[in-house]
Amino acid sequence: MREHLIPKKWYKRLWQIPVTELVNNGIKGVIVDLDNTLVPWRQEVSAASDKLLKWLEGLKRAELDICIVSNGGSSRVSRFADKLGVKYVAGVPKPRRTPFKKAMELMGTSPKETAVIGDQLFTDILGGNRSGCYTILVTPQAKKEFFTTRLIRVLERKIKTHLELQGVFPRQVSGGGNKDEDL
């Protein structure tokens, strides 16, 4: 279980992940979490930033497929998928492997060709690693989230600190210190 909680990389924001990093690692499809990864928790698609849209365009230009995998309600998730022009899987909770498998089926990619990007160790990173994908952690965009998620964050922080002290957790790539780039 322990090694399954360690992401390959940790970025502050998803749009800081270089498309070349994905391509150079043989990635052909990207599974992205919705809440606090694409947009702050519970926000609608109007909250999608220009940086996010530009980053998604870059992925598409590099011919990478994109699929949102979210525990959120399927009508909201499908609104995002339609607006952003990507695929989606909703209604099957992470970290179960089923939603990741479904997403890979939709994109026609193998686990080795698939990256999983999300803000939670116990759902996105655990599920992505168990599925054999290339996992990237991002820092949550907002502090607001479900009460239960906030409780899980306490445990997440403990585990992260423990793994950091052991030197096995990646350092956060912060985007070169330009604060504007982070938000």
Enumerate binding residues for Mg ion (CB under 5 A): 33, 35-36, 119
Minimum distance from residue 70 beta carbon to Mg ion (Å): 8
Minimum distance from residue 17 beta carbon to Mg ion (Å): 16
Calpha distance 183→39 (Å, rounded): 11
In the bound state with Mg ion, the residue whose beta carbon lies nearer, of 35 and 65, is 35
Q: Which of 10, 8, 16 is nearest to 182 (CA)?
A: 16
In the bound state with Mg ion, the residue whose beta carbon lies nearer, of 23 and 97, is 97
Minimum distance from residue 140 beta carbon to Mg ion (Å): 7
Calpha distance 132→4 (Å, rounded): 10
Minimum distance from residue 52 beta carbon to Mg ion (Å): 14
- Determine how many CB atoms are found less than 10 A away from the CB of residue 107: 20
Calpha distance 23→149 (Å, rounded): 32
In the bound state with Mg ion, the residue whose beta carbon lies nearer, of 51 and 122, is 122
Q: Which of 113, 104, 124, 35 is nearest to 76 (CA)?
A: 35
Under 8 Å between Cβ of 6 and 167: no
In the bound state with Mg ion, the residue whose beta carbon lies nearer, of 36 and 131, is 36
Minimum distance from residue 145 beta carbon to Mg ion (Å): 8
Residue 75 sits at φ, ψ, to 5 deg, of: -70, -40
Checking phi first, is residue 175 left (phi over 0); if not, alpha (psi -120 to 50) or beta?
A: left
In the bound state with Mg ion, the residue whose beta carbon lies nearer, of 36 and 135, is 36
